[in-house]
Chains A and B, each alone.
Chain A
Amino acid sequence: MTAATWGWLVLLFPLSGSIFLGLTFRVLPKKIGGLVGVGAIVAAFACGIAALISLQGEPEESRHVASSIWEYASVGGFQIDLGIYVDPLSVFMILVVTGVSSLIHIYSFSYMQSDAGYTRFFSYLNFFVFSMLLLVLAGNYVLLIVGWAFVGFASYALVSFWYRRETATKAGMKAFVINVVGDIGLVLAAILIFRELGVVDYASVFEKAPEVFSTNQWEVVAICLLLLLGAFAKSAQMPFHTWLADAMEGPTPVSALIHAATMVTAGVYLIARSYTLFELAPTAADIAAWVGLATLLIAGTVAIVVTDLKRIIAYSTMSQIGYMFVAVGIAGYAEGMFHMMTHAFFKALLFMSAGSIISAMANMQDIDKMKGFWKAMPFTAVMLIIGAFALAAFPGTSGWFSKDEIINFASLRGGMYSWMAAGMLVGAFLTAIYSYRILFRILPGKPCPEAQHLIDTGHVVHGDPVNPHTLEPEDTDVGYPGEHHHIAEQAPGMKIGMSVLGFLALFAGALQIPGVTEAVANFLEPTFENSAFAGVLPTEAEALYGLTKGGLISIAGLVLVWFIYMKRPDLPAKLIKTFRPLYTLFVNKWYGDELIEFLVVKPVKGFGQFCNRVVERFAINGLTTGTAGIVRSAGGAVRDLQTGMLRGYAVLMLFGIVAIVLYFLIRSI
């Protein structure tokens, strides 16, 4: 079979899994539902590997296949196919998406065990993965938008999965609305592409674009900026970042899925996919990189001060996605993709470990209350350490190789990009601080009551179900989290998922060791071979110098955090006191929510109220009641004719008929 056939199969499995579970979730036994959900994604992963093998069997110049099964629309020279485009980039994305999703599904199989919406959950999860696969496999910009919107919807369904929790439904709506803003940008970009080039499928667009556009011509800059609008919203970059932290309301596997495998990496993929356009519009590409840099710094500072375990990881995602945006913005596509892959591994691992700890805390997420989990949950603790060390780019871990590759690439480009490299080094230091902070806050010390309970009895604390944010009491019926909590130590499914990811987070860096291998870059080369910056490669010495620098920064962070939290436990409070304004700024997330509230929500609400008061009340009401009034008065004018007198009607009928007959008689004479 060809790579395209495998590509279609990759799409088929999650879609049919989702539909099947969606239709039968009421009657299907839990176990079968879970197995179908997991099986569909594992099958998709297997097909992804088959696609990889069949693609690698081709000669390098023909490693891209377009395949279409349906003509979606064909109007006046405008043709859209329901087609996919299989090339190294999409296969790379497929493998990361389905691979990490498989592990997350296996983890959820155990983690969600006691939830009343178990099978429904797997139906949504499968749909989420299907949407993301459609997004990365789509062969033209229109189908890309379809996948893009599906992802938005799936995130809404999953973030609000506990739909009777008000905070969760609100977070879901926020995610959806912000994503729709991005969708608009993407749709406008597709329209502009069609207007300027007359085609929407990737192969023709990238072939025609260099002929039609000159560098930085305003049309291509506009297209790229609109694409960026979509990418920023989906990937939670400034100023659209606020939804990602709120999306933590969903179940933990969903957070893992959103952050690691699906959704937030879509923006990075979009820029890498459209790199031909972005290289024609260097201004837009620079904007992408600068926004990525700003996001990675701002999100990093927030992650240092927030105390909600999942939110720390969420802000770290924004900041790592910021790195990827910088990478693809400065034309380091393979570097960005490599970081996306390692990030998927260690971020999914971090979320899974966090989920395990949150379970042990009976759904509490505040790290202020967590202590001593090193003793209580050794397996989870080891996995958390691996994840955090990889995130902090500790020498030897996968994150070390991928992150420093991006920084290296930036300093190689020189000029203002060297400033970016410096900024990213600061970001790397922030990353190290917040990563290690998680560890030192949670793992050592005297176990907190929940951890102690686990050590003493071997069972997880069974607290009364409450909403962790508002502390409102809840029940455990459908639409709320399940009754029992599952931790990795006691659930084999969670253990499997985390072990595999732990291995990958540690050793996936081996794919790209300077001077030894360049597996990822070589694999992606056919996609990016036309890039003007394909030749920008660091020498071995430069690469090693960069790695040393990054490793030292990470170790410096480790020492600093160790000193603050272990040697001088009084220091954090003092630091907060000294830097009160900064702390307030960070802990309020740089007032991003408030800014959006002030700039967007308030004016829109005000406009809505204006419409309600003026347009609705006077214009629309006047129009409708006016029409009704005319009809009513016309009716009143003729109602007296309806006397109800039968004989009167008969007389009228007689006169009428006589008149008609007379008319015809007279005419015939």
Chain B
Amino acid sequence: MAIEWYLVLSALLFSIGFIGVLVRRNPVVILLCLELMLGAGALAMLAFSRMLGDQDGQVMVLIVLVVAACEVVVGLGLVVAMFRRRLPLDVDDMKELKG
């Protein structure tokens, strides 16, 4: 199979994830979409790695997965903290950091 299909799939996944980040307001869903974007990037990396016959890409993907897991831990921690304080689970309401 040509590499283009992988890249198209990767681009689609990335766009879906990004649009999700932009349009959804629930932080849990936003986190999910972020994971989707990371996965899309990882897929592209894998595809190139296969094409070039180089193992570096695979290693990179493993690292990205670990980082993604950490990021989810932090993100979910934030969500749990918001939940405990009975804050609305809506990122548009969380804008006290404006200038």
Contacts and interface: CB of A to CB of B under 8 A. Distances in A.
A101 B97 CA distance: 71
A645 B21 CA distance: 12
B18 interface: yes
A644 B93 CA distance: 9
Interface string B59-75: 00000000000000000
B85 interface: no
Contact of A646 (B18, B91, B99): B91
A597 to B, nearest CB: 57
Contact of A644 (B22, B25, B98): B98
B4 interface: no
A642 interface: yes
Contacts of B22: 647, 650-651, 654
Contacts of A644: 94-98
A548 B78 CA distance: 105
Interface string A629-669: 00000010011111111110011001000000000000000
A193 B19 CA distance: 82
Contacts of B91: 646-647
B51 to A, nearest CB: 19
B99 A640 contact: yes
Contacts of B25: 647
Which of B18, B23, B96 counts the most chain A CB atoms within 10 A?
B18
Nearest to B92: A645
Nearest to B91: A646
B99 A647 contact: no
Interface residue range, chain B: 10 to 19
B94 A642 contact: no
A635 B99 CA distance: 9
A369 B21 CA distance: 97
A647 B96 CA distance: 14
Contacts of A642: 97-99
Interface in B1-34: 18, 21-23, 25, 30
B30 to A, nearest CB: 8
A650 B18 CA distance: 9
Contacts of A646: 30, 91-92, 94-95
B95 A650 contact: no
Contacts of B18: 650, 654
A646 B21 CA distance: 9
Interface in A542-569: none
Contacts of B98: 642-645
A459 to B, nearest CB: 78
A642 to B, nearest CB: 3
Contacts of A640: 99
Nearest to A639: B99
A640 B98 CA distance: 8
Contacts of A635: 99
Interface in A5-55: none
A484 to B, nearest CB: 69
Nearest to A654: B18
Contacts of B23: 647
A650 B97 CA distance: 15
B32 to A, nearest CB: 15
Nearest to B25: A647
B44 to A, nearest CB: 14
A643 B21 contact: no
B95 A643 contact: yes
Contact of A650 (B21, B94, B99): B21
A644 B92 CA distance: 8
Nearest to B23: A647
A404 to B, nearest CB: 88
Contacts of A654: 18, 22
Contacts of A639: 99
Which of B23, B25, B97, B99 counts the most chain A CB atoms within 10 A?
B99
B37 to A, nearest CB: 11
Contacts of B30: 646
A654 B94 CA distance: 21
B75 to A, nearest CB: 12
Interface string B79-98: 00000000000011011111
A646 B23 CA distance: 11
A642 B97 CA distance: 8
Contacts of B92: 645-647
Interface string A99-119: 000000000000000000000
A643 B94 CA distance: 11
17 contacts: A635-B99, A642-B98, A642-B99, A643-B95, A643-B98, A644-B94, A645-B92, A645-B95, A646-B91, A646-B92, A646-B94, A646-B95, A647-B21, A647-B92, A650-B18, A654-B18, A654-B22
Ranked 8 nearest A-B pairs via Cβ: A644-B95, A644-B98, A642-B99, A639-B99, A646-B91, A644-B97, A642-B98, A643-B98
Given A650-B21, A650-B22, 18 more contacts: A635-B99, A642-B99, A643-B95, A643-B98, A644-B96, A644-B98, A645-B92, A645-B95, A645-B98, A646-B30, A646-B91, A646-B95, A647-B21, A647-B23, A647-B92, A650-B18, A654-B18, A654-B22
